[in-house]
Chains A and B, each alone.
Chain A
Amino acid sequence: MAEVLQIFVGGVLLGAIYALIALGFSLIYRVTGVVNLSQGGFAVLAALAGYTFSQRLGLPLPIALLCAVGGTTVVGLAIGWFTFVPALKKLSNANVLMLTVGILTLIEGFSLIVWGSQPYSVPAFSGEQPLEIGGLRITTQTFWIIGTAIVIFLAVWFVISRTKVGKALRACSENPSAAALMGINVKRMTLLSFTLATLIAAVAGVVVAPTTTLQFNTGQLFTISGFIAVVIGGISSFPGAIVGGLFLGLVTQFATAYVSSLFSNAIALILLLFILIYAPTGLIPSKITRRQDVREEPRVWGHLTRLAPQTAWIAAAVGIVIAVVVPLVIPAAYISSLTIAAIIFLALIGLDLLMGYTGQVSLGQAGFMAIGGYTAGYLSINYGIEPVFGIAAGVMLSLLSALVLSIVTLRLRGLYLALATLAFGLLIDSCAIGFIDITGGPSGMVGIPSFSVGPLYFDTPMSMYFLVVAVDVVVLFCLFGALRTSFGRALQSIRSDQMAASALGINIVRYKLAVFMISAALASISGSLLAYSFNFLAPEMVGTARSLELVSMLVIGGEGTLVGPVFGSVLLTMLPTIFQPLAMYKTFFSGALLILCFLYLPRGMYGVIAHAMSRVSTPKTVANSQGLAEGGAQ
C-alpha cells in the first residue's frame, strides 16, 4: 500500500510538471489555434540559466531564479514578437507548427553553444533530505513543484476568468475575427499568451530542474510530454491540461514501477494513440465550433515558383553534371559526408511530397528510417541476406507500419497528425534503444556489411555515392512525372483546400494514403542505405532529433519544390564537416535558418535560385494588367 502511495505521489509530481507545460500549450492554442512546440525549450533554458546564476555566479537562489525566469520571459517575448506573431499572419497552421519546431531548435542550439552537451544537475531548493510522512519518503522539491503548480493554476484561472485581459483572451479564442471587430487587439493578445506561456514554462523549468538532469536538448522531452498531456486532456480546455498532465504522470509512473521503465514511454504513447483514435478531442473536449464552409486559413501562403520547361531540363542536366563532378574534385575525406547528404535527400524527397505538396506535417519521419535501417542491417548481419532484399524487407515493414499509422492519422489533421507521427517516431526510438538483442541498444548495431548487388560491391565512399545519386535521380524523375500532371495538382489542391478539392471529386483519403506510403518507403530506403554506408547504425542517427532536422532541411532547401531539399541537406550536412569548429553551431543555425526561411524565403534556397534562373531565361511579367484591375472593381 505504502508502495502504491509512493508511486502515486511520484505520479502526481510528474503530472504537475506535465500539466504546467500543457497549460502553456493550451493558452496559446486557444488564442491562435496553433501549438507552440518550443514550450519545453524555454523551460530548459530557464533551468540552465538558473544553474549558471546560482551555481556559477553565486547569486542567492531566489534572485538567481528570478533572473532566470525574467530573462527567459524576455527572450520569449522577443521571439514571439519577431517570429511567432508575424508568422501567424503569413503561414498556414501546419507551417506555424513547423516554425515552432524551428524555435525549439534555435533554443536548443543556443543552449548547446552556451552550456555544451554535458548534463547538469541542480541542487534542490531546500536540501536533499526527504521528509517522512506516514511512511512515505517525499523529497522537499516535490512540495515546491506541486505548490508552484497550484499557485500557477490558480493565478491563470484568476486572470482568465476574473480580469479584463482574461475576457479579451477568451473572446479571441472563441472568435478571433469577432474579437477584432470588438476592438480587441488580437495581435497583442497573441503576444501576451505567448509570453505568458513562456513565463509558465520558465517557472516550471526552474522548479523542476533539481529533479532531473538537464541537457541542451532536454526541452524536447518536456515539449513532447506536455504535448501528449494536452492532447489527452483536450487541447482547448484548461482543466483538460491539468487532467491530461496528471493522467499521463500517473500512467507513466505506474508503468515504470510495474512494467519497466523502457516500456513506460511505449505505454504512454499507446495510450495517446488510443485517445487519438477514440476521443480525438481529448478527455475534456471544449465546446468551440467553427463554421466549416468558410476557409479557415485565409492567409496567403501559396507561392508560385515555376520554371519554364526548357529551363527546368537545362537545370536538371546541370544539376546532374554537378553531382557527378563534385566528388571528383573535392577532398576524399568529404565524400562520405556528401554521400550522407545524398542519402538523407532521399528521405527528404518523401517528406517534401508529404509536407510540401500535401500539407501533412510529419515529425516522425526518422521512425521509418530506423525501421529500414535496422531491418536491413539485422537481416544482413544475421542471415547474410542480399542488401537489396534487406532494403525491400525494410520497405515492407515500413509500409505496414505506415498503413497502421494511417488508420489512426487519416482521420486526423494538422496538429493531431503531427502529434501522431511524433508519437510514432518516439515509439520507434524507444524500441531501437530497448530491444538490445536485435538493435544493439544505445551503443548501436555494428558489423553491417557494405551494400552489394551480386558481385558488385559498393564498399568505397565514391561507389556508394554514385549509387545513391543514381537512386535519387531515378526517384526524382518518377515523382516529377507524377507531380507535373494530375497527381501533383490533386496533392496541391488537398494541401490548400481539402473541402474545395473534395467538392471537385478528388479522393482525399486515397491521395493522402498514397503519399504517406511513398514517403515512408523513401525514408525506409534512406535508412537502409545509411546503415549500409556507415556499416553501423545507432538510435540517434535515426531518432527524433533526425526527424526534426529533416524538417529544418526541408524548409531551408525549399518545401513543395521536390529538388529544393537537396540544398538543405547538403548545407546542413557538409558545412559542419568542412568547418569542424563550427559543428556546435549547427543546431542553432539550422533553427535560425528555418525561421528566416519561413518568414522571408517561403520557397527556401530553391526559391532564390529558381527566381534568379527565371529572371535570366524569361523576363516575364506577372498578371497585373489593365483587365485584371478592372475586373476587381465592381
Chain B
Amino acid sequence: MSQDLKQPNGTDILRVDGLSKKFGGLKATDGVNFSVQENSITALIGPNGAGKTTVFNLITNIFPPDEGTVAFFGKQIAGWSPMDIANLGLIRTFQSARVFPGLTVLENVMVGRHRLIKSSDFGQMLWSPESRREEMRIRSQALAMLKIVGLERFKDAHAVDLPMGAQKLLEVVRAVMGSPRLLCLDEPAAGLNDTETEELAALLRAIRAAGISILVVEHNMSLVMNVADHVVVLDAGRVIAAGSAAEVQRNPQVIEAYLGREQNAAA
C-alpha cells in the first residue's frame, strides 16, 4: 500500500540520553532514554503527570535539562534555541493547542511555512514578483493541506473560533507545513471524536509515508495501538517499558502503572 512506502529503516534520528529535570523537589523526568527511528511513528505514553510534555520541552529546549543529552541526526542539540532546533527540522505542537489568535485558519497554516520562505523582507515591501509568486504558492499548499484534514471550509474563519479538536488538527497541519524531518505531537487526538481520531490516524500514516518521522504523545490507546511502530512508556519521570505496541500492552509494569493510576483516581 502506498502509505507503507516508507518504513522504519533502523537509523536513529533522535536519541535522548539520561534526560533529567527537577521542578522544586519534584523529578519531572528522571534519566529518560529512548530513540526515534527514521520513518517511524514512535508513541510516548504514560499516565497524567508522567513527564511526557516535559520530555518534549526538554527536547525542544523550552527549558534546559538538568542532566542528559539530546541528539538529532547525530547533532547534539542541547543548548540550541527552540528556533534553531525547529530550523533543523524538529517541529513540535503543544498540548494546549496554540493557534495564533488574530490570524485566519489559512494564515495560521501559512505561518508554518515561514522557516522556508525565500523572499526577503525588502522584496515583500516592494511587492516583488518573486515574493508574490511565493505567497501564491504557499497559499495553495496551505489550502491543499486544509483540504486533507477537512478544514478548508473554514479557511477564512478566525482560528481561535474553531473548536479545540479542530485547533489541534490545525496545529498539526501548521507543523507539517514546515517540512519537518521529525514531527513531535503532544496529544493531537485530545478533543477529537472517534471518526476524527481514525482520520487522524490515517493522516499520521500519510505523514510518515511522506518521509516525516513522528514522535507522538497520546492518551488515546486505540490510536497508539493503531499507528505506533514503537511505544515508549513513561511513569513518574522514568521509562518503564519500550517495544512494539503489543509487547508494551502485555508488560506487567505498564499495566500496574495504568491500573495504579485508575485506583488512585477512584479513591
Contact = CB atoms under 8 A, between A and B. Distances in A.
A164 interface: no
Contact of B100 (A492, A627, A632): A492
Interface string B61-84: 011000000000000000001110
A74 B11 CA distance: 70
Contacts of B258: none
Nearest to A302: B101
A294 B101 contact: no
A281 interface: no
A501 B166 CA distance: 19
B115 A306 contact: no
B127 A481 contact: yes
Contacts of B111: 486, 489-490, 493, 501, 504, 506
B124 A486 contact: yes
A1 interface: no
A632 B163 contact: yes
Interface in A542-587: 560
A445 to B, nearest CB: 33
A454 B150 CA distance: 61
Contact of A504 (B63, B96, B112, B124): B112
Contacts of B154: 623, 628
Interface residues of A, number: 50
Contact of A505 (B86, B95, B164): B86
Contacts of A620: 156
Given A304-B158, A500-B94, A507-B83, A478 B193 contact: no
A493 B124 contact: no
Contacts of B119: 485-486
A437 interface: no
Interface string A496-528: 110111111111100000100000000000000
A504 B178 contact: yes
B114 interface: yes
Interface in B119-168: 119, 121, 124-127, 131, 134-135, 138, 150, 153-154, 156-158, 160-166
A560 B102 contact: yes
A484 B191 CA distance: 32
Interface in A265-310: 292-295, 300-304, 306
A181 interface: no
Contact of A490 (B53, B114, B163): B114
Contacts of B124: 481-482, 485-487
A503 B86 contact: yes
A631 B62 CA distance: 30
A623 B157 contact: yes
Given A499-B82, A504-B111, A506-B115, A631 B121 contact: no
Contacts of B114: 486, 489-490, 493, 504-506
Contacts of B91: 503-505
Given A295-B98, A306-B104, A496-B102, A505 B163 contact: no
A382 interface: no
A118 interface: no
Contact of A628 (B92, B166, B191): B166
A622 B175 contact: no
Given A293-B62, A634-B191, A497 B98 contact: yes
A192 B74 CA distance: 56
B96 to A, nearest CB: 6
Contacts of A622: 157-158, 161
Contacts of A503: 60, 82, 86, 91-92, 94
B53 A293 contact: yes
Contacts of B112: 504
B82 A486 contact: no
A503 B98 CA distance: 11
A624 B161 CA distance: 8
A501 to B, nearest CB: 8
A628 B127 CA distance: 36
B246 to A, nearest CB: 27
Interface string B195-215: 010000000000000000000
Interface string A23-58: 000000000000000000000000000000000000
A510 to B, nearest CB: 9
A90 interface: no
A325 interface: no
Interface centre among A479, A485, A496 (most CB of B within 10 A): A485
A593 B123 CA distance: 38
Given A302-B160, A486-B110, A497-B100, 5 more contacts: A478-B125, A481-B125, A482-B125, A493-B103, A628-B163
Complex A-B, nearest 9 residue pairs according to Cβ-Cβ distance, in ascending order: A302-B101, A632-B163, A623-B157, A505-B115, A302-B102, A505-B86, A500-B98, A304-B158, A478-B125
11 contacts: A295-B98, A493-B103, A493-B114, A501-B100, A503-B92, A504-B86, A504-B91, A505-B178, A623-B157, A628-B163, A633-B163
Interface of B: 53, 57, 60, 62-63, 81-83, 86-87, 91-92, 94-96, 98, 100-105, 107, 110-115, 117, 119, 121, 124-127, 131, 134-135, 138, 150, 153-154, 156-158, 160-166, 174-175, 178, 191-193, 196
